[in-house]
Amino acid sequence: MLASGILFFLRPSRLPLPPVIATTGLDPAVARLITQAANDLRAAPRSATAWGALGLALLHYEFR
């Protein structure tokens, strides 16, 4: 029982992938901002700051 509990907490966790965001037709500056935020998130997928930056950029430009 104890061993199964230890294995549960030591197993590698799956990270959610950042969404694929279509930036065609957007202003080039907006597209760069969103693309950079997504790239930063892919570089550090466990970073709450990176997830927040992408979320704020998408919210600001009214992506749903």
Q: How far apart are CA 8 and CA 28, in angstroms?
A: 45
Phi, psi of 21 (to 5 degrees): -115, 120
Give the model's pLDDT for residue 39.
95
**CA torsion, ordered 12, 39, 18, 48, to nearest 10 deg:** 70
pTM of the model: 0.73
For the stretch 23-45, pLDDT in tens is 999 999 999 999 999 999 999 99
Distance CA(49)–CA(52), nearest Å, equals 5
In this prediction, residue 17 carries a pLDDT of: 80
Q: Is 60 helix (H, G, I), strand (E, B) or coil?
A: helix
